[in-house]
Amino acid sequence: DGVTVAKEIDLEDKFENMGAQMVKEVASKTNDEAGDGTTTATILAQAIIKEGCKYVTAGMNPLDLKRGIDTAVNHIKEKLIASSKKVKYIFVTGGVLSSLGKGIAAASIGSLLECSGLKITILKLDPYINIDPGTMNPFQHGEVYVTDDGAETDLDLGHYERFTHAKMRRANSVTAGRIYHNVIQKERKGEYLGATVQVIPHITDEIKKHIRLVGSGVDVVICEIGGTVGDIESLPFLEAIRQFRFDVKPKDVLYVHLTLVPYIKTAGELKTKPTQHSVQKLREIGIQPDVLLCRTEKKLSKSIKEKIALFCSVETNSVITAMDVTSIYEAPLSYEKEGICKIILEKLGIKGKEPNLERWQKINQVLQKPDGEVKIGIVGKYVDLKESYKSLTEALVHGGIGNKVRVIFDWVEAEALEKENGITLLKACDGVLVPGGFGERGIEGKIRAVQFARENKVPYFGICLGMHCAAIEFARNVAHLKNANSGEFSTTSPYLVIDLLPDQNTKGDKGGTMRLGEYPCQLRKKSNAYNAYGKREIEERHRHRYEFNNMYRIQMEEAGLVFSGLSPNGNLVEIIEVKDHPWFLAGQFHPEFKSSPMNPHPLFRDFIASSLKYRSNNHKS
């Protein structure tokens, strides 16, 4: 990028070199802020003006300074042009109905392009007015996925990271709310010079700016448009991507449309009319799809493909059968059977090798022919909508892949455990997991699940709120802190073992006010955590407000609680374990956000291994 190039500049003329050295100094100062090319250029330009004024004030000849700056900037431009790559753009839209799997489609295409030797990134454009999904109801939206830089995003970004090597950040998730917020702020600052601010061009220009923003250093940007074609909310985004093809060269843009071809059992036929109408709606907006992904439960015949191609003005070989699959990790293989990677590369004019799918084949071999199985009880409060725990269930599957076994989910409603004999719901489980969540509902049921696992030596894995419940249960039943609780649920408990930190503000905005993103943690040797990771220093992603209360650390440690993971300064408890238990571990962070089928997270891998051992010792078949 420009920062890197700027740091390498040296000129022979000593006066001109002073100007060049100033640019180098500017580059060093702006490096932490600079990310994509646009941001880098803007920051460098602003800083050059600021630093240049300082040099002139200090007595430097302005003409010598200007010659040095001009030469340095030209050098940067030449280097950047020489090393730059033409970015291609793939836009993925969906029609007919929601939940067809646009996120999986985008992630699968990204993975196949990576397997062909290309560097990709993926962007999600969501049409809702929320700034981000951080405060949205899990029953409506599903999981909130957290990136390394602390962005609260759509769960599809989890699919992007699990399927590809691309690292997601805040710029990879954009909502209509954020777009409108940015435009309104610019209008208030007078940046539109008195113009009437409208959807076209101001909103669409802002959308296009965000699309370009993620394109630095990659070969292909894959952009998924949330919602369904025909929804009023999606119109500004669809208009923006329509314009985008003409802002860049048309051959640098590809439109992929995911649609439905339902099978009518009574008629014994596949029906193409929904696809025809969906494409018709897209063409009314001005977008002609280049590739059609036809979601279906039956393979499309040649005649069906030809019919769709005829009515939708798409080449026959670009009508792709997107078969229903038993595992989402079959999708890349399913798409490649249809030759989608070659089609995309040809249409975009990219030279790429044939994709190497060996890793996907190995993963699916384990999923289809596992050596055994293990049952994990997931004690949650959002179990009616499994999407609320998407990354969690996928991480458990990854742990199973790492142990070559199938993981069976036993969903347990936390409130059901509060009833008499409710704990019997867990007796068939080989391991118990209490995931993250917010609010008081179901807490006592989760605490009972912790007690069951601790007393019966059943492997226990607590995540975020699951750690809070573990600390509360241990405080009540082992450390003799009667009625111990969390400040999130109680203001009257005499022992708030979980509470806000003294400097945390309990009032004001809810959105984006938690401990969010990646934080370092140091592990204690001779612990289950250290055995899993195999190293002392780790980094994990967080999403929470409440922390372990250090007032009770000594008392609970003396009672047998092991603090196996702490922040580098020792002030924050990140991982707790129970002494003399085969595998009882609870973390303040969300390890599921860093797991993938190619690289199962160490804690999930070891949790499944411990659960397998428990199953074997209890002679379960």
Known catalytic residues are: 464, 590, 592
Tokens of 545: 């407000």
Question: Is residue 240 a contact partner of residue 211, using CB atoms and an 8 Å limit?
Answer: yes
The SS3 call for residue 539 is strand
Question: Is residue 344 a contact partner of residue 90, using CB atoms and an 8 Å limit?
Answer: yes
Residue type (1 letter), 522: Q
Nearest-angstrom CA–CA distance, 175 and 128: 6
Sequence-ordered strand ranges (E) for 152-197: 152-154, 173-175
Nearest-angstrom CA–CA distance, 55 and 71: 17
The SS3 call for residue 394 is helix
Tokens of 478: 């082992």
Widest distance between CA atoms in the chain:
88
Tokens of 81: 């042009």
Nearest-angstrom CA–CA distance, 143 and 373: 26
Nearest-angstrom CA–CA distance, 176 and 470: 39
Which of the 8 DSSP states describes residue 316?
Answer: G
Sequence-ordered strand ranges (E) for 483-598: 485-486, 496-499, 515-523, 537-544, 547-548, 561-566, 573-578, 584-587
Nearest-angstrom CA–CA distance, 454 and 151: 34
Which of the 8 DSSP states describes residue 133?
Answer: G
Q: Which of 340, 337, 333, 350 is nearest to 319 (CA)?
A: 340
Question: What does the buried/exposed string (b/e) look like for 588-614 if buried means 16 or more CB atoms within 10 Å of the residue's CB?
Answer: bbbbbbbbbbbebbbbbbbbbbbbbbb
Q: Which of 298, 418, 436, 397 is nearest to 597 (CA)?
A: 397
- Tell me the β-bridge partners of 522: 537, 566
Cβ-based neighbour number of residue 189 at 10 Å = 8
Cα–Cα distances in Å, from 34 out to 4, 205, 452? 10, 22, 50
- Centroid of chain to Cα 105: 15
